[in-house]
Structure 1
Amino acid sequence: MKQLLEVMGFLAVVQGVAGLVSGFTDWHWGFVQRVGFLDGYEVYAGIALLVLGGALFAAAESRKPG
């Protein structure tokens, strides 16, 4: 379970960075660009994904190994 939370946290952080990059530049990559209702809210979605990734890493650290 710990490894699953860490992988999900990593993916959330990567997609959060992608959302911020696509919000501030003309690069169109990542999950945030593919979701239609997030159009115009890429920066907020990126920040939310970064926070979610941090929370998932914290939850993974509180778990026992295995």
Structure 2
Amino acid sequence: MTSTPAKSPLAAVSGLLCFVLVVGGASGLLHEWLGWIHFMGFVRFLVPEGYEIYGYVVMVALGAAVGAAGDSLARRARS
């Protein structure tokens, strides 16, 4: 039986933060464009009024960057 090494707590937190930013930003974009889905309603408080589209795009990009950094951190810990 093989076991996978445990993820570091920092890698786990970065994975959670990546998920929240990407899904929240994508949900906000869908809400702005289509007006019918708002999965994570709290993210509307994170972007300035009048700049919602830009804020949600930045959230998705930042989430992808945090996810890549967390993945790199997890791979470094395994080596």
Identity score, percent? 31
CA distance in 2, matches of 1:9, 1:48: 12
> Compared with structure 1, are the counterparts of its residues 6 and 38 closer, same or farther at alpha carbon in structure 2 (3 Å cutoff)?
same
Check conservation: 1:9, 1:57, Cα contact below 8 A: yes
The two structures have a TM-score, normalised by structure 2, of 0.67
Match status 1:6 vs 2:15: yes
Q: Per chain length, whose mean CA-contact separation is higher, i.e. which structure has more relative contact order (CA < 8 Å, sep 6+)?
A: 1
Shift in Å, 1:40: 2.4
Shift in Å, 1:62: 1.4
Give unpaired runs (5+ residues) of structure 2.
1-9
Check conservation: 2:26, 2:60, Cα contact below 8 A: yes
Q: CA RMSD in A?
A: 2.1
- Look up the equivalent residue of 1:58 and give its one-letter code: A
- Look up the equivalent residue of 2:29 and give its one-letter code: L
SS at match of 1:40: coil
Report which of the two structures shows the higher radius of gyration computed on alpha carbons. Answer: 2
